[in-house]
Amino acid sequence: MKLILGVTGSISAFKAVEIMRLFQKRGHEVSVILTASAQQFIPPLTFETFAPGRVHAGMFTGEDDVLTHITICRENELLLIAPATANIIGKIANGIADDLLSSTFLAFNKRVVVVPAMNSIMFENIAVQENVLRLKSRGIVVMEPDEGSLACNTEGKGRLPSPEAIVDFCLKS
C-alpha cells in the first residue's frame, strides 16, 4: 500500500517518525506532509532520512510543485493524519484549505484516518467534538486518542496512541 502521513504541530509529532518506519517495515511506501507547526517540533530532515524524495514541507516552499496536493492524491491509497491537532481537525471538518495538508485532504477521495492528539480539555471542547462528529458523518475514520499522562503534566484523554496501535488500526480498519 502507498500512503500519505500528515503530521501536525503536536508535541507527539516525534512519534510520527516511528509510525512511518513501522509502515515501511511492513512493506508500505510512505509519503509525508509536514505542516509548518509540525516543523517546529520535528524537522523535515528527520523524515527525509528514511523517506528521501517523499517529504513535503509546504505548498509554496519551492521544493514542491503547486499541484503537489493533487498529484500526491493520485498515487496513494490512504491519508493518515497523526497526530491531528484541534487546528487541522477544524480545518478539514470545515473545508478550509490553506496549507498543503488541508488542501490534500480536500483533494483526497480515498480512505482517510485521523488520530487526534491534544490536551484533554481541548479534545472535550464542544467545537472539537462537533468537528470530530462532522468528520465521522462524512466517512472519515477517527481513531480515539488514549487516556494517560499528557505533555501539560495532566492526565486525561488526548494522548496519541502508540505507533504500533496506529499502524495496526490503519491496516485493520
Catalytic residues, by residue number, are 152
Distances (CA, A) of 75 to 2, 24, 58, 147: 7, 16, 18, 35
Provide the H-helix boundaries in 109-161: 120-124, 126-137
Q: How many helices (H) and strands (E) does the chain have?
A: 9, 8
104 near 137, Cβ under 8 Å?
no
Contact 10, 160 (CB under 8 A): yes
Q: What is the C-alpha to C-alpha distance for residues 49 and 123, in angstroms, rounded to an integer?
A: 32
